[in-house]
Chains A and B, each alone.
Chain A
Amino acid sequence: MAKNYETVIGLEVHVELATKTKIFCGCTTEFGGAPNTHTCPVCTGQPGSLPVLNKQVVEYAAAVGLATNCTITQDCKFDRKNYFYPDNPQNYQISQLYLPICRDGHVDIELEDGTKKAVRIHEIHMEEDAGKLVHDDWEDVSYVDYNRSGVPLIEIVSEPDMRSAEEVIAYLEKLRLTIQYLGASDCKLNEGSMRADVNLSVREVGASEFGTRTEMKNLNSFRAIARAIENERARQIDIIESGGKVVQETRRWDDNKEYSYAMRSKEDAQDYRYFPDPDLVPVHISDEWLEEIKSRQPELKPEKMVRYKEEFGLPDYDIGIITDHKKLADIFEETTAICNNPKKVSNWLMGETMRIMKEKNEDPENINFSPANLAELIEMVDKGEINGKVAKEVFTHVYEDNIEPKKYVEEKGLKMDDNADDLRKTVEEIVSANPKSVEDFKSGKKQAMGFLVGQVMRASGGKANPQMVNQLLSEILLNM
C-alpha cells in the first residue's frame, strides 16, 4: 500500500535593500552600470580598506523585522563567513551569524480556501551581496563584474513551517507585499532583488522526526518555485520508496528542463569558519532609535484595509484588490484626495486599469499615469461632459500616454453632445430609416430599443448623451 507523505518546507529569502549606496562603502547600488564602474577598494576587498556600515541598512532591516513581528536584537554585530570564490574578492562574506538583527517573528498567511496559518521566522540578518560572474560560452573562462559586490541584503530565514507550494507562495507574496509597503526593496524575483532558496524534506504523515532536506537554488519566479517543489517532493519520495536515502545537498533548478541537479564543486568543504569581523564595531540600537524606526513605519495592508472600509466605505472585494499592490493603493489614495469619489476611483482601477494591465501583461508597478488625470476624467463623466463610452476610450490614452483628459477631449471634439434639437432630428431619422425595428418594438420585442439606441449613438459619432437618446426614443416610439 502506498504510504502518505508530507512535504516540509522552510525558506531562505534574500532581499536586496533599496539603499542608494552599498552596505559598507559609498558606491552606488544603481542597477545596470558598465562593469566594475561601481567599485572601490572596500567592495573589492583591497588590503587595508575599512568598511563603514550604512545606517539605512540597519533601519530597513529593523523595519522589516518589526513588520514581521520579530524581536530586534538591540546589540548586534557582523561576522565573517569564509569561502573562496571569484565573485567574492575578500574571500569572506560579511554577514551575521551569532547576533542577527531580528529573531523569532512570524508572518500570517491565508490560503485560497480561507485557512489561516502563521509561518514563523527564525531570524533576519544583514549581509553583503557578491559580484556577478558571466561564463563564456566557448572559452574556459568566466568574467567578473564587482558592481553588485557589497550591495546590501537581508536574509529572512523561516522555520520549516510550510507544507505545500501554495503555502510557500502565500508566504512569499505576503513577505513581498510587506517589504514593498515599507519601501525597503522592490522585491522583483525576475530581476533578482528577491531570491528564495527552498529547503525541502519529506516524511511519512504522522512521523515526528524531519527527513533529510535538500536546498534548492535558482528559482526566479513563483511558477518555478511551485514546479521545483512538486519535482523535488516526487524525487525524494522515489528515493525513499526504492529503499535509498536522501542526501543532504544543494541542488540547482533548471526551469526550462524542469529538473534539478546537485551542485558539486571541487573540494567543496562546507566549513565557513565564522568569526566576528574585527573591522566592524558592534551596532547598538538604543530604545530611542528603535522608537524612531517604529514611528516611521508606514501603514501596512491590514491597517489600510480597516481604514478603507471606515473612511471610504468601499466593499471588501474592492479593498482586497486595491491594497494588494502598494502602487494601486497609492494611486487610489491620491486620486480620491483630488476627486473625492472613492467608489468611482476604485471602479476605474479594478475595471479598465486591470483590464489594460492584463492585456499588456504588465504589473501595477508599470503604471505611469498621474492620479490628477484619472481624477479629471472622473469629474468630466460626473459633470456629463463625456459619456461612459468616450471616457473608456480617453482612459486608454491616460493609461498609455498620461494625456490630460480635458485637453484631449477638446482637441478631438469628443464632448458629449446634448443639443436636444439636433439629437431629436437624428433620432427621428433613425426611426424612419428602421421601420422593421419600430414594428418589432411595437409588437413587444424590447431588444429592438437597444438596436435603435445603438444606431443613434453611432450616427452621433459616439458623442450623444445616452440617457437623452433613451428618453427621446421612448417618447417618439410611444407617440407613434
Chain B
Amino acid sequence: MANIISDETIEYVGILAKLELSSEEKEVAKKDLADMLNYIDKLSELDTTGVEPMSHVFSAGNVMREDVVTNGDGSEDTLSNAPSRKDDTFIVPKTVEG
C-alpha cells in the first residue's frame, strides 16, 4: 500500500527535527519519506508469527567496563568545539527552563 505523507506530518516532523523547510523542500521530503515507508512496508508481507521481536542486530551482550576513572581533564578538547565560550563554559542562546 502506498504511503502518503500529509502536509501536517511534514510540518510536525520538521518541528521535531528543528528543520525549516521551504515549500519546494517540503514536497521533495514528502516524496522521499513516502518512498522510504513503502520500502520498509515490504517487511509487513513476511509472516512473523512465532518469531521473537529482535532488540539488537549483534549477538553480543554484556559489554561493560569496571568503575575506574580513566579520563583526565578533557575541557580543552571539549571546548575547542564551542562556537563561543565564556571562561570554561559554552555560551548558548538563553533557554527557558523546560
Using CB atoms and an 8 Å cutoff, list the residues of chain A in contact with chain B: 19-21, 25-28, 34-41, 44, 46, 52-58, 77, 82, 84-86, 98-99, 133-136, 139-146, 218, 250, 252, 263-265, 267-269, 271, 273, 276, 278, 280-284
Contacts and interface: CB of A to CB of B under 8 A. Distances in A.
14 contacts: A21-B68, A25-B71, A35-B75, A52-B65, A53-B63, A77-B56, A85-B95, A86-B90, A133-B92, A134-B89, A144-B89, A252-B97, A278-B56, A278-B57
Given A26-B71, A143-B89, A281 B61 contact: yes
A19 B79 CA distance: 25
A305 B56 CA distance: 46
Contacts of A86: 90, 92, 95
A25 to B, nearest CB: 7
Contacts of A141: 91-94
B89 A35 contact: yes
A140 B68 CA distance: 39
Interface stretch (B10-18, B21-29, B33-41): B10-18
B75 A283 contact: no
B89 A145 contact: yes
A272 to B, nearest CB: 10
A90 B71 CA distance: 19
Contact of B75 (A36, A99, A273, A278): A36
Given A39-B75, A281-B61, A282-B56, A142 B93 contact: yes
A273 B12 CA distance: 13
B71 A40 contact: yes
Contacts of B69: 20-21, 26-28
Contacts of A20: 67-69
A135 B96 CA distance: 9
B89 A37 contact: no
Contacts of A41: 77
- Chain A interface helix/strand/loop/mixed: loop
Interface of B: 12, 15-16, 18, 55-58, 60-71, 73-75, 77-79, 81, 86-98
A282 B88 CA distance: 36
A87 B96 CA distance: 12
A27 B77 CA distance: 14
Nearest to B56: A282
A197 to B, nearest CB: 13
Contact of B91 (A34, A98, A143, A218): A143
B62 A143 contact: no
B90 A144 contact: yes
B71 A264 contact: no
A41 B70 CA distance: 13
Given A20-B69, A55-B66, A265-B98, A281 B56 contact: yes
A264 B63 contact: no
B74 A52 contact: no
Q: Which of A38, A140, A250, A273 has the largest number of chain B CB atoms within 10 A?
A: A38
